[in-house]
Amino acid sequence: MNDQRTLFDYLLRRADSDLVLAQRLGEWVGHGPVLEEDIATTNVGLDLLGQSRLWFAYAGEVEAGFNNGAGRSEDQLAFLRDAAEFRNLMLVEQPNGDYAVTMARQFYFDVWHELSLRGLTASADARIAEIAAKALKEVRYHTERSADWVIRLGDGTEESHRRMQAAVDDLWMYTGEMFEVDAIELALIDAGVACDAGTLAAPWRQRVDAIFSEATLTVPAGVWMQGSGGRGGKQGVHTEHIGPMLAQMQWLQRAYPGAQW
Amino acid sequence: MVNAIRGATETRPAIDVIWAALAAIPDPEIPVISLVELGVVRDVVWRDDQLVVTLTPTYSGCPATEVIAADVAAALAGAGIVGARIETRLSPPWTTDWIAPAAKTRLAEYGIAPPGVRAAVQAIDIGGLRRREPLVPCPRCGSTRTRELSRFGSTPCKAQHRCEDCLEPFDYFKPH
């Protein structure tokens, strides 16, 4: 795999995690527990969708560079690839569940996302650095919000505590993948382009511990991590949940290829 | 002014004339402030015979971004400038610190609490996750006894607050 293909793959990882989570959050439109939360959750989704477009646009340009000028558009990349071509983390494709599950998923991702974008602001690739700097400002706000909810539900009623604890327990097995580094990322880390995900594990855990402590939640332990050993979402190996989600997300472009608003 | 711009199509309109034309375009979602006051117009230059206007997005997913670009294109066409190019610039990222002071006053008069200085809300404690509640005066009665209802309001750039004295809910333009 040459440098440009490696970079393309890495950009898809960034774009796809943002896009898939945006789609999941979009499923709350009209179904939020209260109107304000409906709006807030979908606004976070909107930020992530905007960020995914920045990554996709760059990925398409990189692809044009190694594919005789034929780089795919944002829409083609988002709507015309199948599950095995998606490079998102398995965590973000997990179903919404109740609001505790949605917020637990969001919190795990947000803390990682913020740390990882902060690392990318120092990327040797100027385009990656500027997208990361833009996205970081938005994501910092996402982290505050999901941390607030983890505390509010964890340290809330008996029932909200029970649900929040169940949610963080159920999703824990998908968090290990965020810190996995494979050959693609290693090559880009060596080139100063990618952020070394392995170095994010300790600061991520420190933040999770601090918030869980305030939320009176127990940090899960001794759980097998899905996606270990280079067989996870970043390599195109997904859970069963991504297929139905993509079917819903992509049906319009599949039925009417090239349709435009 | 419109006549002045149209009359100048033989030669190139001066840059300050173009800035003035852009300053007349209202923000599509908050029409009491202009795009120039919002700080999204970053640069206006003639590159050879082509006018290049550089815009920066507020939030990366803000649906108004495309409307803003279309409004700028329409205003330039209306000013008789053909073939202008609109470019997007991400860096440095947009900040509410770029909103003109006069526009912040108008936001408050319009019922939207204007953004404070960013540094004040970026003071964070444990693990960089928890924030301190910023002091947001009510745009109607001026009371500082207000509280946040939701972290997002009618647009991505706003949060929803309520005044505990006059009991009115209001939008707060978040420092970003």
Cα B150 from Cα B146, distance rounded (Å): 12
- Chain A contact present for B119, CB below 8 A: no
Q: What is the pLDDT of residues A21-63, one digit of tens each?
A: 999 999 999 999 999 899 999 999 999 999 999 999 999 999 9
CB contact under 8 A, B59 and A138: yes
Average confidence (pLDDT) over B149-167: 90
Q: Find the CB nearest A50 among B61, B129, B153.
A: B61
Q: What is the pLDDT of residue B8?
A: 45
Q: Find the CB nearest B156 among A36, A43, A133.
A: A43
Half-sphere exposure of B10 (CA within 13 A, CB side): 3
More confident residue, B6 or A226: A226
Please identify which residue in the block is written with the tokens 């960020």. A51
Which of the residue ranges A1-10, A104-113, B37-46, B112-121 would you say has the lowest mean pLDDT? Answer: B112-121
Cα B98 from Cα B117, distance rounded (Å): 11
Cα A136 from Cα A121, distance rounded (Å): 9
Q: What is the pLDDT of residue A2?
A: 73
- Chain A contact present for B47, CB below 8 A: no
Fold that domain A3-255 belongs to in CATH:
Ferritin (1.20.1260)
Residue B119 has pLDDT above 50, yes or no: yes
Beta pairing class for B169-173 and B85-88: unpaired
Q: What is the pLDDT of residues A192-235, one digit of tens each?
A: 999 999 999 999 999 999 999 999 999 999 899 998 888 999 99
Contact between B18 and B51 under an 8 Å Cβ cutoff? The reply is yes
Alpha helices in chain A (DSSP H): 3-26, 35-66, 74-79, 90-93, 99-120, 126-154, 158-171, 183-190, 201-214, 242-255
Average confidence (pLDDT) over B23-37: 95
Average confidence (pLDDT) over B119-143: 66
Contact between A41 and A28 under an 8 Å Cβ cutoff? The reply is yes
Helix or strand or coil: residue A160?
helix
Q: Find the CB nearest A211 among B129, B151, B154.
A: B129
Reported as a pLDDT band with limits 50, 70 and 90, residue A8 is very high
Question: In chain B, what residues touch A145 (CB-CB under 8 Å)?
Answer: 151
Amino acid residing at B152: F
Return all residues near B150 (Cβ < 8 A) that are at least 6 apart.
A36, A37, A39, A40, B159, B160
Q: What is the pLDDT of residue A43?
A: 94
Q: What is the pLDDT of residue B73?
A: 95
Residue A164 has pLDDT above 70, yes or no: yes
Question: In chain B, what residues touch A138 (CB-CB under 8 Å)?
Answer: 59-60
In three-state form (DSSP H/G/I as H, E/B as E, the rest C), the secondary structure along chain B is CHHHHHHCCCCCCCHHHHHHHHCCCECCCCCCCEHHHHCCEEEEEEECCEEEEEECCCCCCCCHHHHHHHHHHHHHHHCCCCCCEEEECCCCCCCHHHCCHHHHHHHHHHCEECCCCHHHHCCECHHHCCECCCCCCCCCCCCCCEEEEECCCCCCCEEEEEECCCCCEEEEECCC
More confident residue, B97 or A1: B97
Q: Find the CB nearest A144 among B129, B150, B176.
A: B129
Return all residues near A145 (Cβ < 8 A) that are at least 6 apart.
A40, A44, B151
Cα B133 from Cα B82, distance rounded (Å): 48
Residue of chain B whose alpha carbon sits nearest to that of A115:
B128
Q: What is the pLDDT of residue B154?
A: 81
Q: Which residues pair with B79 in a beta bridge?
A: none
- Chain A contact present for B42, CB below 8 A: no
Q: What is the pLDDT of residue A222?
A: 86
Parse chain A into domains and list their residue ranges: 3-255
Q: What is the pLDDT of residues B8-22, one digit of tens each?
A: 445 788 999 999 999
- Chain B contact present for A48, CB below 8 A: yes
CB contact under 8 A, B90 and A47: no
Q: What is the DSSP letter of A217?
A: P
**What tokens does A204 get?**
């991520």
Q: What is the pLDDT of residue B124?
A: 43
Which domains, from first to last, does chain B contain?
Answer: 2-88 (3.30.300.130), 100-173 (no CATH)
Q: What is the pLDDT of residues A85-132, one digit of tens each?
A: 999 999 999 999 999 999 999 999 999 999 999 999 999 999 999 999
Q: Which residues pair with B26 in a beta bridge?
A: B34
Residue of chain A whose alpha carbon sits nearest to that of B93:
A134
More confident residue, B150 or B117: B150
Q: What is the pLDDT of residues B77-97, one digit of tens each?
A: 998 898 999 999 999 999 999
Reported ipTM: the value is: 0.86
For residue A98, the tally of other CB atoms under 10 A from its CB is: 15
Residue of A101, A207, A223, A94 lying closest to A160 (CA atoms): A101
Average confidence (pLDDT) over A131-137: 97
Which pTM does this prediction carry?
Answer: 0.92
